[in-house]
Structure 1
Amino acid sequence: MFVVGCSEQASQPESVEVPVDTPAKTSFNGEEIAADGYTIRVPDGWEIVDEEKTILSIRSPLEDGNDTFGENIRIVRYPLGRPHTVEEVLKRQKSDTGRFMLIGEGRVDEARVPMTWMALTPQTPQHDKDDRVKIDFMTTQGNELVVLVAMAERNAWKRYMPIFREIVSTFQPPSHQ
C-alpha cells in the first residue's frame, strides 16, 4: 500500500505560510541530473547519495560539525493500479490513519508537472529520529505515484521549504521531457 497518512484524531494542520522568496543558503546553479528517465536540478553543494529502492537521493551539505542529519530528498515511485490525479492522491493520503500528524499541505504551482505536498510528523515521538518532518511532494504519472520525499529536522523544515520547492519544481518525469 502506498498510503502513509495522518491520524483522524490529530489536530487540523496548521496554516503554513511557506515563504517562496526566502533567500536560500544554497546556490541553485547546480547541474541537472537524470536517473531512470527522471530529471531534477541538484543545487550546488548537494551530494547524490546511493540508496536502495529509490530512483535518486540527494542530500544537503552539513551546516556545521554539530549537524549530523543533512536534509534530503528521495525520489520513489509506487504502483497505483489505475490513474489518479494528484488531488485524489492527497485526499487519500490525508484520510489514512497512522501515527503521523498532518502539519501542512499545499500545491507547488511553479512545478513542471502537477504537484501537491503534505508535511507529516509523528504525533508522539518515540526516538530522537522522530523529531523530523517528512514532506511528501506528490505527482502522478499514468498508473504510478511519484513521491519526492523530503526530510528535515522539525525546527528547520520551514526554513528548508523554499529550497525543497525550488528543487521539486525542476523535477520532470520521462513522459514530460
Structure 2
Amino acid sequence: MRKAELLLAVLSVLIGCGSSTPGVTKGLGFAIRMPPGWEIKQCNDDMVVALEAKESKNDNFRENVSVVVEDVTEGTELDEYVKRRVRDMRRLSEDFYLWGNSRATLDGMPARRLVYSITFARIRCKCLAFIAVRGAYGYVVTCAAEPHRFDRLLPLFKECVESFRFK
C-alpha cells in the first residue's frame, strides 16, 4: 500500500465503513481489545479504528485507537520500516514532532514505541504508536488524543496495546 493510500485509508475508516460491537476485535493476523463503549469501525481485515464518543456537537476530533496492517517485503527490518513510517508521517502532515522513539515489544515481538505530535487539517493530536514487523506484514497500533487529554487517556491506551495479540 502506498503511503498516501495509507493515509487515505485511515481517513476513510474515520468517515464510514462498518461498525461492530466492542470487545475483542480481530483483523489480519491480530486481535486487540478496544476501549469499552467506543465505536468500532472496520473496513476490512487490515484496518480497524475505535473512536471515543464526541464530547459535544462542536468536537472536531474523536480520540481513537487504530491498528493498520501493511504489506511489506518479507525480511524487512523493523528499523527500516519505522524510518519509512516516520518519513511518511513527516511528509503527509502539516506539522510533525517526534517526542520519543524507543525499543519495545508488541505481544513479545520486537517493536518500536513512538510518541509524537502531528497535525492534520489544522487539528493537532498527540500519539502513542507501537510498530512491529511480522513476516510479510507491518503492524502499526496508534493511540491518538488531543494533547490536553492524552495523559488522562494514557492508561487506557496502554491497556489496549497490552491486549494486542498476533494470530
- Name the TM-score class by shorter chain: 0.5 to 0.7
Using structure 1 for the length normalisation, give the TM-score: 0.62
For the 8 Å contact 1:112–1:172, the answer to whether it is kept is no
Question: How has the CA–CA distance of structure 1 residues 142 and 2 changed in structure 2, closer, same or farther, with 3 Å as cutoff?
Answer: farther
Give the Cα separation in 2 of the matches to 1:150 and 1:36. 19
How far apart are residue 49 of structure 1 and its match? 1.9
Residue in structure 2 matching 1:47, options 24, 39, 51: 39
Q: What pairs with 1:28-107 in structure 2 (closer than 5 Å)?
A: 31-51=23-43, 54-63=46-55, 67-94=59-86, 98=91, 99-107=95-103
Q: Which residue of 1 aligns with 2:122?
A: 128
Higher gyration radius (CA): 1
Structure with bigger helix share is 2
Q: Give the fraction of aligned pairs with identical amino acids, expressed as a percent.
A: 24
Structure 1, unmatched stretches of 5+, are: 4-29
For the 8 Å contact 1:119–1:135, the answer to whether it is kept is yes
How far apart are residue 76 of structure 1 and its match? 1.2
Give the Cα separation in 2 of the matches to 1:126 and 1:149. 15
Number of residue pairs aligned between Structure 1 and Structure 2: 145
Structure 2, unmatched stretches of 5+, are: 5-21
Q: Once superposed, what is the RMSD of the aligned Cα atoms?
A: 3.3
Give the Cα separation in 1 of the matches to 2:96 and 2:44. 24
Partner of 2:154: helix, strand, or coil? helix
Using structure 2 for the length normalisation, give the TM-score: 0.65
Structure with bigger strand share is 2
How far apart are residue 94 of structure 1 and its match? 4.9
Q: Which residue of 1 aligns with 2:136?
A: 143
Q: Which residue of 2 aligns with 1:20?
A: none
Q: Which residue of 1 aligns with 2:149?
A: 156
Question: How has the CA–CA distance of structure 1 residues 43 and 73 changed in structure 2, closer, same or farther, with 3 Å as cutoff?
Answer: closer
Cα-to-partner distance string for 1:96-149 (whole Å, 9 max, x where unaligned) = 764522122334457443332212324xx58431x1124332111112211112
